[in-house]
Structure 1
Amino acid sequence: MSLVLPSELVVDRFLPTVRAVLARRLSERGMTQNEIAAELSVTQAAISKYVAGEAGGDGRFRNDPDTIATVDRLAEGIHTGSMDGYDALAELLALIHRLEDRGPICELHETEMPELQGLGCDLCVRGLDTDVRVEREVLADVRSAARTLATIPGMAEYVPNVGTNVGMALPDAGDETDVAAIPGRIYSMSGRVEVPANPEFGASSHVATALLAAKAAGPDTRGAINVATDDRLLEAARSLGYDPLAFDASYEDRADRLETTFRDRGAVPQILYHEGAFGIEPITFVFGATATDAADRLQELVETASN
């Protein structure tokens, strides 16, 4: 685990960049390096490097319009004497707050601490969110399910041309942004199953549509995987006591039609499939209480189909 505080990034990456840009702005306005060093509370040698462009800095901040606009205000205020230290500090703190709210600091934090990626983390601006733990658990479950798919012998045969995905919904999911899945979908290459990225919320409308309809009819169904429709899998499902349910492949009003179908049946099937249509590849959905539950069920189907 990499534990990185946002404040570390502010000190190590943001402030040096702002000081470098601000030093050059003040130099352009005719202030001496000693005067600039006194204003920024750094050494004259540091200012010399800043002005010469040798101090580098982070491009996320150096090219950020909000940061540049704030630095320009600071430079003008310091140069003209219209802004004192309190005013300058207030400007910088307000800028940091904005950059932490899904801005460059937040982006950099996710890069330095990958555990935050895909969480929509807003700890810096809103404090501890009790829902974050649930979101993390869902993301971890999808990640585990994806790893399972990648290790099932023969799984690559059942990855459709459009790709496979595995998803899991939050307990109170209302739309596809509440369903975590793999961005870019899972695909097969040279007989292997490749998982291209870590799961994120809102990454798959395809799986989310079927999963949200299933969850509306049966709240305990929160995980789903799509694979290619294959007679071997369907026969394996029947031999294991499942009752696969066929549905119309059309995308039009699919969510409403599926929800009605599930309610009419009186339960959400473990296996749902269609035979395709013009421009629509035949697809089967495997449902479960969680994403890992769906993955375990799919593994059982694939292994049975191989025997």
Structure 2
Amino acid sequence: MSLVLPSELVVDRFLPTVRAMLATRLAERGMTQQEIAAELGVTQAAVSKYVSGESGGDDRFRDDPETVATVERIADGLVGGEMDGYDALAELLSLVRSLEDRGPICELHEEEMPALRGLGCDLCVRGLDPDVRAERDVLANVRTAARTLASTPEMTDFIPNVGTNVGMCLPASGDETDVAAIPGRIYAMGGRIEIPANPEFGASKHVATAVLAATAVDPEIRGAVNIATDDALLEAAETLGIEPLEFDADYEDRGEHLRSRFADRGAVPRVAYHRGAFGIEPVTYVFGATAVDAAELIGDLLESEST
């Protein structure tokens, strides 16, 4: 993993772009290249490149409304005498802090360090936070679970038409944004399983609803996978000593219905299923302490079913 600091991106990508934008705006307001060079602390030759459009830069910042507004404000202030270098620096520092908070600098940082993707990273804003470790662990677990499913023999036969997803929630989760899953779901295509993207928090409403219902009854259960309902698979669960729980497919509040059924059982079952309804495909949920636990149980069920 390459270690890239956000400050490197500010120096290498943000500053050249903003300097070019400022040079252009100041030239449009009548400043000479020598005056612009003095304001920006660069050479006149650099200003010439900025103004001619030869300096490159990053369109992500050029097109960012907040960056454009800040540059316009600084240019007006410098030309009108309402700002000096100190004021302009304060404006730019404030802009950098804003762009590091889920803005273009944050996007660039995720591109340079893919390990940050999906975290909703606030590292630049909140600093070192133990919650980030928990988020990374959950994302890694879901990623491993998805790969486990993709390598499980015969798994393609149990992918519903609506797709499969695998999810896992953070401890003490409140809503679906605390549940990591695969964006776009997992599909079977051409006899193989396609995982369209790395896991992200808030990526799946359906599997998140099941996970949150389970963890509300038993905090030790934080992972789930949905697959197609199949009688042979349900019989395999019973062979392994698991009593599947049937629930209704047609209901208004699925989360509340699942919580009620789990509470009636007195525990969260490892396997819960429904038979479908009008416009609703039959689906089975397999639960586990983690997403990997749920994925591995599916492998055990498929192996038992085939013997």
Residues 165-202 of structure 1 deviation map (CA, whole Å, 9 limit, x = unaligned): 00001111111111110000000001101111111111
Q: Kindly provide the amino acid, as one letter, of the partner of residue 151 in structure 1.
A: S
* Structure 1 position 103 matched with structure 2 position 103: yes
Counterparts of 1:92-241 in structure 2 under 5 Å?
92-241=92-241
Q: State the distance in 1 between where 2:77 and 2:246 align.
A: 70
* Structure 1 position 283 matched with structure 2 position 280: no
Matched-pair contact (CA < 8 Å) for 2:214–2:221? yes
Q: Kindly provide the amino acid, as one letter, of the partner of residue 223 in structure 1.
A: G
Q: State the distance in 2 between where 1:121 and 1:27 align.
A: 38
The equivalent residue for 1:246 is 246
Q: State the distance in 2 between where 1:205 and 1:133 align.
A: 23
Q: State the distance in 1 between where 2:214 and 2:16 align.
A: 52
The equivalent residue for 1:69 is 69
Q: State the distance in 2 between where 1:265 and 1:53 align.
A: 69
Q: State the distance in 1 between where 2:250 and 2:58 align.
A: 49
What SS does the aligned partner of 2:226 have?
strand
* Structure 1 position 9 matched with structure 2 position 9: yes
Q: State the distance in 2 between where 1:167 and 1:192 align.
A: 20
- Identify which range, 89-98 or 100-109, moves more after superposition: 100-109
Q: Kindly provide the amino acid, as one letter, of the partner of residue 50 in structure 1.
A: Y
**Structure-1-length-normalised TM-score:** 0.98
* Displacement of 1:250: 1.6
* Displacement of 1:44: 1.5
Q: State the distance in 2 between where 1:77 and 1:49 align.
A: 23
Residues 271-290 of structure 1 deviation map (CA, whole Å, 9 limit, x = unaligned): 00001000000000000010
Residues 218-252 of structure 1 deviation map (CA, whole Å, 9 limit, x = unaligned): 11111100000012211211111111111100241
Q: State the distance in 1 between where 2:169 and 2:75 align.
A: 49
* Displacement of 1:293: 0.5
The equivalent residue for 1:41 is 41
Q: Kindly provide the amino acid, as one letter, of the partner of residue 273 in structure 1.
A: Y
Residues 14-46 of structure 1 deviation map (CA, whole Å, 9 limit, x = unaligned): 000000011111111122212211211112121
* Displacement of 1:103: 1.2
* Displacement of 1:82: 2.3
- Identify which range, 119-128 or 160-169, moves more after superposition: 119-128
Q: State the distance in 1 between where 2:148 and 2:196 align.
A: 14
Q: Kindly provide the amino acid, as one letter, of the partner of residue 296 in structure 1.
A: E
Structure 1 runs not aligned, ≥5 long: none
* Structure 1 position 270 matched with structure 2 position 242: no
Give the aligned length: 307
Give the ranges of 4+ consecutive aligned residues of structure 1 lying more than 3 Å apart after TM superposition: none
| Sequence identity (%) | 73
What SS does the aligned partner of 1:241 have?
coil
Q: State the distance in 1 between where 2:207 and 2:165 align.
A: 7
Q: Kindly provide the amino acid, as one letter, of the partner of residue 8 in structure 1.
A: E
What SS does the aligned partner of 1:227 have?
strand
- Identify which range, 137-146 or 94-103, moves more after superposition: 94-103
Q: State the distance in 1 between where 2:133 and 2:231 align.
A: 40
Assess, with a 3 A threshold, how the Cα gap between structure 1 residues 251 and 16 changes in structure 2: closer, same or farther. farther
The equivalent residue for 2:25 is 25
Structure 2 runs not aligned, ≥5 long: none
Counterparts of 1:292-307 in structure 2 under 5 Å?
292-307=292-307
Matched-pair contact (CA < 8 Å) for 2:251–2:257? no
Q: State the distance in 2 between where 1:63 and 1:202 align.
A: 27
Q: State the distance in 2 between where 1:166 and 1:131 align.
A: 21
Residues 103-131 of structure 1 deviation map (CA, whole Å, 9 limit, x = unaligned): 11112211221111111111212222211
